[in-house]
Chains A and B, each alone.
Chain A
Amino acid sequence: MQQKEDWHLTEKVLHELGRGDPFAAAIRGTRMPMMITDPRQPDNPIVFANQAFQDLTGYSRDEIIGQNCRFLQGPDTDRDAIERLREAIRAETPINVDLLNYRRDGSTFWNALYVSPVRSEEGETQFYFASLLDVTERVEAHAAIAVQKSDIEAQVQSRTADLEAALETKSLLLHEVDHRVKNNLTMVGSLLRLQARAIPDKALRVTLETMLERVDALATVHRRLYQNRDIHRFDAGAFAQDLTSDILAGSGRDDIVLETEVASLQIRAADATALGLILNELIVNAVRHAFADERAGTLTLKVYREGDMGRIMLCDDGPGFAIESVGETIGRTLVSRLSRQLRAETVWRNANPGTCVLVSFPVAE
């Protein structure tokens, strides 16, 4: 009770500046809005509010004293925050909570409220001490940032959707074009094959069939293009193996055994056609000349990488031949011109037995 009487003393001192308890004077004079409530009175009324509190809320002392501090709340004050505050007061524990409060003139401010119980030596809660901090700017800045953030997220989402749609269109288009190229190549092959069948002259037919083999080599390239996720790269190793198997199968020569040792070798997709045509000439030559006259044997294909060079080696165990002496002129010209185009080097050597041809070219990183 003594303490309560002291309190009344400071209430009086308020009107007599310069006298009384210096702590009470400090609380009265501080720029921070503060108040004290008395939980022992019905409805825990405010028994003290300093000048800063009056300045912040616009209420005069007479209007404040005796009120429960809920008189600062209004329709937009968050119910959950109020509930947390009530709970803390019921439990007599300190609490920090941001509340939207209303001034006397109806305007609002964000109040970072701190309330803590003041206990007697016996541990009984005698008062609640509360400090208020106007954090409207901070809260509004946060809200503005949240709005901006969600705006930006919406924009990013919409842009991403646009890009995805564009990509989808592009993939569809690539797919469609790829499909048409393949169909047209199939038609070219079919046309040539049908024509070759109808030609009685053997030499002419052989020439046409040679053309057909080249078109087939292009077809094999195209079947492999765009199979990877990376449409700019082409696996020359798998392709060389495909093409060699295809040509051997097509020759009907099951007496030629194919041995392969093939690593994956990525080249630029743009170089695939030229490489395909070169390999086609080399393989066809080997089949025609190394294994002529139904001679059985083994064809060895090796694809590997050495430093930044890719190498494709094709060896037969035939009687050996010189490139100058075999194949039609156009075949040799194709190999030499296309090698130059690929910055590749194509060399034959006598392997005794047989012949090896080695194509070396720079590989894509």
Chain B
Amino acid sequence: MIKSQSSSRSKGGKRPSRGLSSRGTKKLPLPKDLLLQIHRLMVKSRALEDRLIKIYKAGESYFWIGGPGEEAFGVPLGLLVHKGQGPQYDWLHLHYRATPTLVAMGMPMIDSVRLMMNRATDVSTGGRNFSNHYCYPQWNVAPVSSPIEVQYSMALGTARVQQRHGTKGVSIVTGGDAGTAEGDFASCLVWASRPGQELPLLITVQNNGWGISTDYDSQHGEKHIADRGKAFGIKSLVMNGNDPVESYLKLKESLDYIRKTGKPVLLEALVSRLYGHSSASGANMEKGQVCCVQSFEEKLKKWGLLKDKEALAIRTEYETEAKMAQEQARQEPAPTPESVWDHVYAHNENGDWRNY
């Protein structure tokens, strides 16, 4: 249930054109190529999630949870991340709706499908964890965990390392609105804003208005979650996370501020939750919410940047890629039973007491 969504429609203008047109109409809010890239990635992420849901419904996986409805936030984030390994790059402490961010960072679809189908080839968990529980050390992506909000306290540590190394790297944490009730969210605000020891943290909340079946309004006395940052002197803002342009601009502004000052930002993005919490509630499209992919597509068409035929071709291309990924993953091996003892400890040191 999305409450007031501050619209940034005016930024696009009613008669957009490709840059400053000779006719003097308004400038596009972002370069054309970037707008089209964001669109493609949003469609790609959605097509992938749609496929994951199909895999679940076909009985080829046990559970689905994911991020349809968070593309307009996640894709711009993925594009803005300084991607790499080590403290000079950004760290990502993501929640389980972050497919759009990873797609934008360049994750191949097949990775997500292998994770969904618990293949031995799943690079994130080796068939051990649920969908959307990604892990990419080469991009500083910490393992996504099912307990909500724990990532907000772990992000403190990577931010501390970045600060110590004096890098421009930022630790970015994402999570839902319901999880902000947990103590880890408060820990994050307290530790990020210690006077003279502020941490380079982008603390984000994707407020979809729900915690499983419990609505936001019955649990939150605060008007905005972002208001909580103000008490700590943390730069805080609320944005329409269903608008990729607003997301891109506000995320960029926030990241630039953090890289420049070393201080944290709390950013609350109002987003949709299009298919419910997870497959536990059916994973069906829930009506009455903004679909950011659809609304952005309409905007691009209105601006003359996209035609129906092109939009259809993009969607078909990614639907096909996702389907092919499923077919490929089907052929790949499952984890072996004896692999349960792998990686209990680093370097595969024995973890079975029977062998002590």
Q: Do A and B come from one complex?
A: no
